[in-house]
Structure 1
Amino acid sequence: MEINSIFKPTSFPDVLSLPSSRLLDDSMYQSVMLLVSSDEDDRGNYNYARVSNLGMIYLYVHRKGTKRKEQTKKDYLRELLLFLNYVHSLGKHDLRDISRFEVEQYQMQLEQTYPKTTTLAKKIGILNSFFDWLYREEYTTKNLTRGLIPVRIDKEAIPEREIDEEVLKESIQYFNNHPKVKSLLLLLGTTGLRLNEVITPNFSDLTYDRTRNRYYLRTVTKRGKIRMANIKDYVLEELLEYRRRLGLNTKIDKNDTSPFYPNRLGRHYSLSSLSSSLTEWMKESGLVTTQNQRVTPHYLRHYFAQAAFAAGAPIGHIAETLGHSLERTTKENYLRNSLKKQHDVSELVDIRLTN
């Protein structure tokens, strides 16, 4: 990332042509912050007078204390550059010239393009956070967040992500001769791990706990926390068979830096590639929800939570296992229907007629 593109006024077409890898490169962040902070005023405000709109996006995406992961940064960059494209379409080349009304119009466009409330809420959330930061840093004099209306997500409209255990078993058995797919379905279904939490660890992250007589995989969750996921023996057996077919080591070795779940070349999978492939594999095997809807890899995380709850696991333990900071997330997003069924009092009311 060249420092000139952050400070020099940049025409918008040039902004769009910048490779994402340059915008994602945070190597210039500290240098830029040193420059803008060198002219701090007596109220503690930094001087962003020389920073372009692109530079402000760069500073916002990489700002310290947010702990944003690479994919999150990509999402933020995409949404903010799309907004700048909208600004340019209005004949303006500086987002500080945008009006509250024009922000409202942009949200209307998004609502027409993205009717799914969860998708829309994410986009509006990114813009709201960016506008708020610009205003608090006094880069803008207008509080553009006033032009955004929070998106209310209708929980009842979210697709039910319930999978019948027998249907899942049939899907897994469909891949009996394909340990690559079978082991992955078993891994996700018995651990509740996200797909990224399976493909990121190395084989050296797999350890055996003699006290508990169990295998554990050390992985990093979405929020950067360490999770020790229990890998059941029969699941590990399938994974080792897959590694064996690839010619990889199958003995636990703390020095083995090969991927825990490798691709056919013995390397780490890319998340998008494996997610797409697994979705197609599940479709091929006939795996659907109880409402006969298509499933994605994330649905197996829901299956895990629901199966654990049905087996008597406390909600707090399920939340902790899944890495949810709030039990509310587990209740509302993963166990909504399970709790409705559990709390239903119909069984207490009986008007059966007797002869």
Structure 2
Amino acid sequence: MDKLDITNMNDLTNQNLIHNNLIQNNIHDAINILIDNKYTYAMNIKIELAEKEGRKKYEYLSDMEVIYYYVHFERDMDEKKNRKRDTKQIYLKELLTFCQTLIKDADVFDIRGEEVEKKGSLLQGLAPWNIRRYNDWLKTAKLGRGGKPYSVATLAKKVTIIRSFLKHLYTMSYIEAPLHEELQKANVRSEDRPNRDLSYGEVMQILEYYRQKRDIFSYTILLALASTGARIQELCQARVKDLFYAEGKYWLRVTGKRDKQRDLFISDYLFQCICEFRKRRGYETDIKTGDIMPLLLNRNGKIYNFRILSNQVTEMVAKTGLEFLKYRENPVTAHTFRHAFAIMSVEEGNADLYHLMHTLGHESIKTSQIYLEKYMKRKNNVGVGFADKLK
């Protein structure tokens, strides 16, 4: 349904294109429906009708339609500045989970069913105390890693999305009270950030494990992450045509956040590993201009799903059973190798924050500083210079 038959405008106002019962569906299934932007035209027609009648902008939208419209709403003429599909999926997951939780534990949050039923809307039936109770529950619910409460960083992400959504509903007069003000902010301090540091020696131990195993597939993926500083999604999306030779070196052109491109240095050894990887998969190793085949292919000869591969990388590292892993507070993930890349740059004396920022594709030099923060505090601890001498 790319366009809607609007011959009968009254029928349109009574038609919920995206039904509220999606809230109670499996979240994964609901996201698969809501991620498609084909309903945006119809949403705009319903909004336009309300405006022409002098009503509130979202007068004819259901809760699900409001969530859908908020997630897909484009704020900028430049497509690159609007939410990407992956970001939309994150927003949908958080907002659907928020609504599902309110419905499932309505008694905990003291949600008045008669008010929700009267207004025909969960969101419009919410009161300030419901959000305050949800806020308290969110801080203590043991839904985080290892059955513990969410980390401050996770809380910050969730609260930011929900606050933004509720503020939007209030601004558009879909809800009457500024419910977003009842959610506490979650400010992430440096000590709240998970330890993602990984040293050169630890990286080498992980690589050596898979070198000994002669597992070219795991080895190449881990080597590519550690030696380029690439995001896992960037590697998954790379095509053969993106690999090129210039100034006597191999380079890989990747597309990062906000569709910004940058070139990653590919060592001769990594290039040889990539060739062997492709050869073992049964594909050509020649670099061909215009070849849109994925550079790294899964066992089915298809592009890697970056979320699945990210989980596999975590499993790869855990499988090594290396001694240093026992003392880590957080598991080593694909993202950890970006931190390792930054730390190894410092350890080898090649680090310059400005150039590191551009190599990693960061928007701000402050992000690059965060990558090095914990490592530099340990490195510059004055006790390192003399404490080992005390017997």
2:92 corresponding residue in structure 1: 77
Q: Report the secondary structure of 2:254's partner residue.
A: strand
Q: Which amino acid in the other structure matches residue 140 of structure 2?
A: Q
- Tell me if the contact between 1:87 and 1:98 (Cα under 8 Å) persists in the aligned partners: no
Instruction: Kindly indicate whether residue 188 of structure 2 is the aligned counterpart of residue 153 of structure 1.
Output: yes
In the superposition, the TM-score normalised over structure 1's length comes to 0.87
2:177 corresponding residue in structure 1: 142
Q: Which amino acid in the other structure matches residue 61 of structure 2?
A: V
Q: Report the secondary structure of 2:205's partner residue.
A: helix
- Tell me if the contact between 1:204 and 1:253 (Cα under 8 Å) persists in the aligned partners: yes
Instruction: Kindly indicate whether residue 264 of structure 2 is the aligned counterpart of residue 226 of structure 1.
Output: no
Q: Deviations over 1:252-289 (max 9, x none)?
A: 01232221111012110112321222222112224576
1:204 corresponding residue in structure 2: 241
2:368 corresponding residue in structure 1: 330
- Tell me if the contact between 2:91 and 2:161 (Cα under 8 Å) persists in the aligned partners: yes
2:163 corresponding residue in structure 1: 128
Q: Report the secondary structure of 2:252's partner residue.
A: strand
Alignment of 1:1-355 (within 5 A): 7-8=15-16, 12-17=20-25, 19-37=30-48, 39-40=50-51, 47-65=57-75, 67-88=82-103, 89=106, 90=111, 91=113, 92=116, 93-113=121-141, 114=143, 115=149, 116-176=151-211, 177-209=214-246, 212-287=247-322, 292-293=327-328, 294-310=331-347, 311-332=349-370, 334-341=371-378, 344=381
Structure-2 change in CA distance of 1:9 and 1:340 (3 Å)? same
- Tell me if the contact between 1:204 and 1:256 (Cα under 8 Å) persists in the aligned partners: yes
| 1:340 shift after superposition | 2.2
- Tell me if the contact between 1:161 and 1:289 (Cα under 8 Å) persists in the aligned partners: no
Q: Which amino acid in the other structure matches residue 142 of structure 1?
A: A
- Tell me if the contact between 1:183 and 1:236 (Cα under 8 Å) persists in the aligned partners: no
Structure-2 change in CA distance of 1:288 and 1:57 (3 Å)? farther
Structure-2 change in CA distance of 1:151 and 1:239 (3 Å)? same
Q: Which amino acid in the other structure matches residue 160 of structure 1?
A: N
| 1:175 shift after superposition | 1.7
Bigger shift: residues 242-251 or 27-36: 27-36
* Root-mean-square deviation over aligned CA pairs: 3.0
- Tell me if the contact between 2:67 and 2:95 (Cα under 8 Å) persists in the aligned partners: yes
- Tell me if the contact between 1:163 and 1:290 (Cα under 8 Å) persists in the aligned partners: no
In the superposition, the TM-score normalised over structure 2's length comes to 0.80
Q: Deviations over 1:87-135 (max 9, x none)?
A: 4333223312211111111111111125211111111111011011112
Q: Give the length in aligned residue pairs.
A: 348
Q: Distance in 2 between matches of 1:33 and 1:184?
A: 45
Structure-2 change in CA distance of 1:80 and 1:24 (3 Å)? same
Q: Which amino acid in the other structure matches residue 338 of structure 1?
A: Y
- Tell me if the contact between 1:217 and 1:230 (Cα under 8 Å) persists in the aligned partners: yes
| 1:158 shift after superposition | 3.0
Structure-2 change in CA distance of 1:105 and 1:11 (3 Å)? farther
Q: Deviations over 1:141-197 (max 9, x none)?
A: 211111100012242143322223223213212222121111111110011111111
Q: Which amino acid in the other structure matches residue 245 of structure 2?
A: Y
Q: Distance in 2 between matches of 1:305 and 1:270?
A: 25
Q: Distance in 1 between matches of 2:39 and 2:32?
A: 13
Q: Distance in 2 between matches of 1:299 and 1:198?
A: 15
| 1:326 shift after superposition | 1.6
